Structure 1
């Protein structure tokens, strides 16, 4: 499975996770590897699908905008939104925590229908729970 890390997260995070995720046959890229800074989400999602990317990890709250939500569903992306508490973590804790959640995220992406959105809590994976983001309609 191929995943992308949004531009609101550091490229080094994508490289770090990619090194470990490849052991399980996954690939992780940062969006800045193939789009310019500030690229609109709709264009970013189209390009992701064109490149075979099926998972998008972000701190943006795409589920709040109908156009982005529709594009996620239409294109079949699985989106993981990091909850607000992630911003309180330092860079090492942030990377370690995301890496801790990564296997659960990839498993969920494989088991659920494409076009799904999920929220990842900033808690440790052993004590937190991934929750689906319901449609606002």
Structure 2
């Protein structure tokens, strides 16, 4: 799931690239625009294991959103602040460079885990 703070084009590109291996959709495609974080977190949690790619660091900082996420079956990968401000091409470049690492990390951890996708490093830091 690509969150609302990232463009739908990113989700479409990833979906095309990983067709048959992963179902990748944009948050708006499933919930429409403007859905509250606590609502989509609860809904996706009830469906099972989802991986979230996000530029919304408030989820990791806002108490209600953080509690909802950490208590869920979701695993989140959040763009580092510098990467959030970067052009879409740079964001995609970093996602592609770290995609296998993201896949492996998502398999290793339980729900509620959050990681930062760095601007330059190849290491995912837990949030």
Q: TM-score, normalised by structure 1?
A: 0.82
- Quote the residue 1:120 is aligned against: 117
Secondary structure at the aligned position of 1:28 is classed as coil
Superposition misfits of 4+ residues, deviation over 6 angstroms: none
What's the C-alpha RMSD, in Å, of the aligned pairs? 1.7
- Quote the residue 2:124 is aligned against: 130
**The 10-residue stretch of structure 1 (6-15 or 71-80) with the greater mean CA deviation from structure 2:** 71-80
- Quote the residue 1:96 is aligned against: 93
Q: Which has the higher strand share?
A: 1
| Pair 1:77 & 2:55 matched | no
Task: Kindly provide the CA deviation profile for residues 16-71 of structure 1, in whole angstroms up to 9, marking residues without a partner as x.
Answer: 11222235x22211001111211110101122234445111111111111211211
Q: Residue 56 of structure 1 contacts residue 80 of structure 1 at CA under 8 Å; is this kept in 2? A: yes
Q: What's the CA shift for 1:90?
A: 2.1
Query: Which 5+ residue runs of structure 1 have no aligned equivalent?
Result: none
Q: TM-score, normalised by structure 2?
A: 0.88
Q: Quote the Cα distance in structure 1 between the aligned partners of 2:19 and 2:98.
A: 15
Q: Quote the Cα distance in structure 2 between the aligned partners of 1:81 and 1:37.
A: 20
| Aligned match for 2:8, one of 6, 11, 18 | 11
Q: Quote the Cα distance in structure 2 between the aligned partners of 1:104 and 1:128.
A: 8
Query: Which 5+ residue runs of structure 2 have no aligned equivalent?
Result: none
Q: Do the aligned partners of residues 34 and 128 (structure 1) sit closer, same or farther apart at CA in structure 2, a change above 3 Å counting? A: same
| Pair 1:64 & 2:61 matched | yes
Q: What's the CA shift for 1:87?
A: 3.2
- Quote the residue 1:49 is aligned against: 45
Q: Residue 118 of structure 2 contacts residue 124 of structure 2 at CA under 8 Å; is this kept in 1? A: yes
| Aligned match for 2:19, one of 22, 35, 42 | 22
